[in-house]
Amino acid sequence: MSTLDSLFINTCMVISLAYVVSLTYQDWRTAERRSMVLLRTLLCSGGAILLMFHGITIGDDIQVDVRAVPIVLLMLRYGIGYGLIAIAPVLITRVIYFPVQNINVYAMSLLLTFILLGLIRSRMPDGRPDRRSYMVTPLLVFSVHTLPVLLSPVAGWYFSHVFIWYFLANVIGFYLSAQILMTRIEYLKATEHLRQEALSDPLTGLLNRRQFEKDRARFSTGDAFLLLDLDHFKQVNDRHGHAMGDEVLRQLAALLKSSTRDNDRLYRMGGEEFLVVLRGIETQQAITIAERIRETVEHHVFPVPERITVSGGLVQFSTPGNLNQLLEQGDHLLYRAKREGRNRIKRELRERLDPQM
């Protein structure tokens, strides 16, 4: 097999390896989890060994392949430590199956690569490579990487016949692999962004009715449901315009967030109607939070002269049953609060809601 054929096969293989590694990115928020990074380290190490077996030997000890590409990519993103883990099996395989006659060439090549990558990472903001790092790194690393070949007896022939193809194969393989990985992460971020837009209310940032329908199966005994409705909100819109009404809704959403717990779920069900799901909560605590929300809204200074208040209905999920009936019950309590003068929470709770996370 000719050198060009071998490098072409290597380049195709390293691109395939990058695709396989990209599949380990399932959620960009957990992409840096240690277990996943170790998995990618093993994949890069195994891929490098496979690339080495599909390379070609020049002279007694010059092995031409692109096995450095996955290792360099790994070290650039995750650091020298993971690079050392990945390179160890590659070194062992190299010694066993491709004995090195001139150890100085191989050792110096590795040393220069590690030093250069260490310098590049030391200049990266917050230790994360950007597009500039991905552009510059292969040009520097794969230029310096082969300089120790000057110590080999076949140096002249190598640099006149092989070096340019070796350099191009490594650089192209690096760029394409990096692009595959970055595209995967960007795709996951974009998908998450679209999902958030589809399942959240763009005005208030709270969850929307569509998300509530998806969450139905999560609710269980021990949860309490607080249905809220702004009092006289139509008058705010009529007198001050919808822009001011939107600001009132945004501020109300912020008050709901500050008055509830981290594991509670907040939904804007439509218009000025909101739903607070208090997860795994005791009766008295549910009452306390509901009243705290009402009082917080009552005393908050909204950007309108009218006093803004809320009315609500608080019900419990005491036994597995029809959630629609439970919400209808809460709705009746809400409108009962409206009829009795507004700015109040009507409730129908048993003595205790069993905590259920």
**In tens digits, what is the pLDDT along the chain, a chain of 357 residues?**
688 898 999 999 999 999 999 999 988 776 688 999 999 999 999 999 999 999 887 766 677 889 999 999 999 999 999 999 999 999 999 888 887 656 777 788 888 899 999 999 988 877 788 888 999 999 999 988 877 677 667 677 777 778 888 899 999 999 999 999 999 999 999 998 888 888 999 999 999 999 999 999 899 888 999 999 999 999 999 999 999 999 999 999 999 999 999 999 999 999 999 999 999 999 999 999 999 999 999 999 999 999 999 999 999 987 666 888 999 999 999 999 999 999 999 997 654 444 333
Q: Are residues 46 and 171 in the same domain?
A: yes
- Among residues 199, 221, 242, which one ends one of the domains? 199
- Model confidence, pTM: 0.69
The Cα diameter of the chain in Å comes to 98
Q: For residue 266, give the CATH number of its domain.
A: 3.30.70.270
C-alpha angle 211-214-217 in degrees, rounded to nearest 5: 135
281 is a domain residue: yes
Among residues 206, 198, 224, 342, the alpha carbon closest in space to that of 270 is found at 206
CATH number of the CATH domain containing 11: 1.10.1760
User: Do 193 and 214 share a domain, yes or no?
Assistant: no
Total domains in the chain come to 2
Residues annotated as catalytic are: 272
Q: What is the pLDDT of residue 352?
A: 43
Specify the pLDDT at position 229.
97
For residue 60, is it within any domain? yes
Q: Quick one: pLDDT at residue 94?
A: 86
185 & 212 share domain? no
**357 occurs within a structural domain:** no
Q: Are residues 195 and 217 in the same domain?
A: no
Contact 67, 48 (CB under 8 A): yes
Q: Identify whether residues 174 and 211 lie together within a single domain.
A: no
Distance of alpha carbon 270 from its chain centroid, rounded? Answer: 29
Domain boundary among 136, 167, 199: 199
Q: Provide the domain limits for residue 142.
A: 3-199
- The Cα-based distances of 285 to 289, 297, 348, 353 in angstroms read 6, 18, 14, 9
Compute the distance between CA of residue 308 and CA of residue 255 in angstroms, rounded to an integer: 12
What's the confidence (pLDDT) of residue 29? 73
pLDDT at 357: 30
Residues 6+ apart with CB under 8 A from 300: 251, 255, 308
Is residue 31 domain-shared with residue 132, that is, in the same domain? yes
Query: Domain check: are 108 and 238 in the same one?
Result: no
Same domain, 188 and 225: no
